Every structure is written in C-alpha cells, then in structure tokens.
C-alpha cells in the first residue's frame, strides 16, 4: 500500500481556532466555517440557540454534548441542509446562503452515522458517487462526463482509506468497519474543504473507531477541516478543538484540556468525572 498514513495520529497541532466574538458579523475572507449567532429549529423545537463557533481548515474539531444538546442540528445547519431561524453560517467569510448549491456541495462533505449503501453495489461505484458533488443540471442530471481526473480522485480516496484492496467487492460482503471506511472514501472522493461527520464511530468497535479517527487525522494533516459530532469523550479528547454544547448553547469551546474539565462535564452531562492526563492524552473517567 502506498502509505499516506505515515504522519500518524498524534502530534498536537497548534490550534488555529478561536472563539468568535458574537457582536459583529464582518464578512472578511477567512479559512473557516463559522456559525454566527446561529439559531436553528428542529421541527418546532429550538435545538440550537445562538451558537457562535469557528472551525478551521486543517483542524480536527469535535462537537460534544449530551443527547438533545443540538449537535446534529448544528451540523446540518453548518452543511446548509437546515435553514437557520436567525444568525448565519459563513464559509470562507461568505454567508452560506450566498453559495450556490453546486459550490456548497463541493466544499462541504457530509458523512452520516451509517451511510445507506445498497448491498449489491460495488465498493468502487459507491466511492465514485462522491464525485458527483454539485455537478447536476436542475439538481438532477449529471452535467459533465466522467473523466480521468474523476478516476484519479476515486483511486486516491480508496488508497487513503485503505479500501482499494476490495474495490471490486460488493458492499454486502463488508464488515461494519470496512463499510464506514468505504463511506469515508466516498466523502473524500469529492475533494471537499470540510468534512462534517455525525457520530461516525458510534456503532463501531474500539479498534475500528480509532482507525476512523486515524484516517481523519491524516486528512487533517493534508489540510481538510474536520468537524465531527462525537459521543465518546475519550475519542473527542484526541481532537484539536472541542465545542461543548448544552441545551443548544455553547458551554465551552477550546482545546480539549480547557473544555474537558470536571466542572464542564458536570454542568453539561450531569455526571461527576475525573479527567486525568496519561502521556499526552486526556482521559475522562466517570465516577459512579
């Protein structure tokens, strides 16, 4: 395998993220995906209530918080799939509303908890679907033919997720961990600037979950901005930047060491926990 994974999973990167002052909206060019005073309803329920956050390219950000804190709703709003009640999402300093659908879908990729992959489809064909981002006439008809560039991008995505070996196999023959890597390859094939993931490791065994995080780390080193909703705090502790949501509001944002504190965890999850440092890593240990 041509390893692109060499740069490894660790190495704390200087975080470029910073909490945004809520007062001003200045549309300066930036390298970030930002939420500005964002309020979003899920149905009629105000799930996100005035969130300010900034996610940079080349940074692994994780969104954490208890169930119902508004994590998934925030993620969908960042993707432009949920319309905000007020406030806005800015991508590279431009309001997301002003991006055309093709531009937006090329820049922002989404990976669900479980991607609906039809069993009879071949792995390579699934990954190739990621190349269609934005190239639709009326949103429905492909506007351009398949090119060698597309093949190259699919190859690269397969290599980077180590799925090239079984590119000709059908999805039905894959394990859960392999499926998630195929889904990741699909998301990467479109060469997005940001990848937003909704609980990508939720149903995976620990080894596979770590694997997904490791692949994401490599992409971040290559300049991709990752925003992942994560349930497992010990996985989230490996991110560069954390956003802790509580009842639709930001309770804390910053590097893991600043966010994962016993006080924050008690305030958001209602759980007493110790946070210990082991080697370079934070560990959250709930107390009974």
Footprint of other proteins (CB under 8 A)? 43, 76, 79, 81, 101-102, 104-106, 108-112, 115-122, 124-126, 129-130, 132-136, 138-142, 148, 151-152, 155, 164-165, 167-168, 172, 186, 190
Task: Work out whether the CA dihedral 58, 63, 64, 67 comes out positive or negative.
Answer: negative
- What's the CA gap between 97 and 140, in Å, rounded? 20
- Shortest spacing between CB 106 and other proteins, in angstroms: 8
Q: Which residues pair with 88 in a beta bridge?
A: 36
- Shortest spacing between CB 213 and other proteins, in angstroms: 20
> Strand order in 108-111's β-sheet?
108-111, 194-198, 225-229, 60-64, 241-246, 249-254
121 by DSSP, 3-state: which?
coil
**Nearest Cα residue to 134 out of 107, 115, 95:** 107
In the complex with other proteins, which residue's Cβ is closer, 153 or 250?
Answer: 153
Contact 180, 188 (CB under 8 A): no
- Shortest spacing between CB 77 and other proteins, in angstroms: 12
In the complex with other proteins, which residue's Cβ is closer, 113 or 261?
Answer: 113
Looking at the chain, how many residues does it have? 288
Q: Angle at the Cα of 76 (from 74 to 78), degrees rounded to 5?
A: 70
- What's the CA gap between 99 and 119, in Å, rounded? 34
**Nearest Cα residue to 190 out of 110, 269, 117:** 110
- Shortest spacing between CB 43 and other proteins, in angstroms: 8
- Shortest spacing between CB 119 and other proteins, in angstroms: 6
In the complex with other proteins, which residue's Cβ is closer, 134 or 262?
Answer: 134
- Shortest spacing between CB 180 and other proteins, in angstroms: 13
209 by DSSP, 3-state: which?
helix
In the complex with other proteins, which residue's Cβ is closer, 131 or 246?
Answer: 131
In the complex with other proteins, which residue's Cβ is closer, 154 or 218?
Answer: 154
The CA–CA distances, whole Å, from 261 to 103, 138, 257, 282, 285 equal 39, 49, 7, 10, 11
In the complex with other proteins, which residue's Cβ is closer, 11 or 43?
Answer: 43
CA dihedral 158, 163, 168, 174 (to 10 degrees): -140
In the complex with other proteins, which residue's Cβ is closer, 116 or 270?
Answer: 116
- Shortest spacing between CB 25 and other proteins, in angstroms: 25
In the complex with other proteins, which residue's Cβ is closer, 156 or 261?
Answer: 156
- Shortest spacing between CB 168 and other proteins, in angstroms: 3
């Amino acid at each position: 395998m041509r390893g692109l994974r060499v740069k490894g999973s660790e190495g704390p990167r200087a975080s470029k993220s910073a909490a945004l002052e809520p007062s001003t909206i200045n549309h300066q060019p930036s390298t970030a995906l930002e939420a500005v005073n964002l309020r979003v309803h899920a149905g009629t329920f105000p799930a996100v209530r005035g969130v300010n956050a900034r996610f940079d390219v080349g940074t692994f950000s994780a969104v954490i918080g208890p169930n119902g804190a508004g994590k998934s709703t925030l993620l969908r709003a960042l993707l432009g799939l949920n319309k905000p009640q007020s406030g806005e999402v800015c991508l590279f300093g431009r309001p997301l509303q002003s991006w055309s659908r093709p531009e937006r879908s090329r820049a922002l990729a989404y990976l669900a908890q479980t991607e609906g992959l039809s069993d009879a489809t071949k792995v390579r064909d699934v990954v190739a679907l990621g190349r269609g981002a934005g190239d639709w006439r009326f949103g429905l008809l492909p506007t351009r033919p398949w090119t060698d560039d597309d093949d190259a991008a699919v190859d690269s995505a397969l290599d980077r997720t180590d799925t090239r070996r079984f590119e000709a196999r059908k999805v039905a023959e894959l394990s859960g961990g392999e499926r998630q890597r195929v889904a990741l390859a699909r998301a990467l094939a479109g060469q997005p600037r940001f990848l937003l993931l909704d609980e990508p490791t939720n149903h995976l065994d620990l080894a596979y979950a770590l694997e997904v995080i490791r692949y994401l780390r490599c992409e971040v080193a290559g300049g991709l901005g990752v925003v992942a909703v994560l349930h497992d705090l010990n996985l989230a502790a490996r991110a560069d930047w954390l956003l802790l949501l509580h009842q639709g509001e930001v309770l804390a944002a910053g590097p893991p060491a600043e966010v994962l504190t016993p006080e924050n965890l008690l305030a958001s999850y209602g759980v007493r926990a110790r946070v210990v440092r082991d080697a370079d890593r934070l560990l959250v240990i709930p107390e009974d």
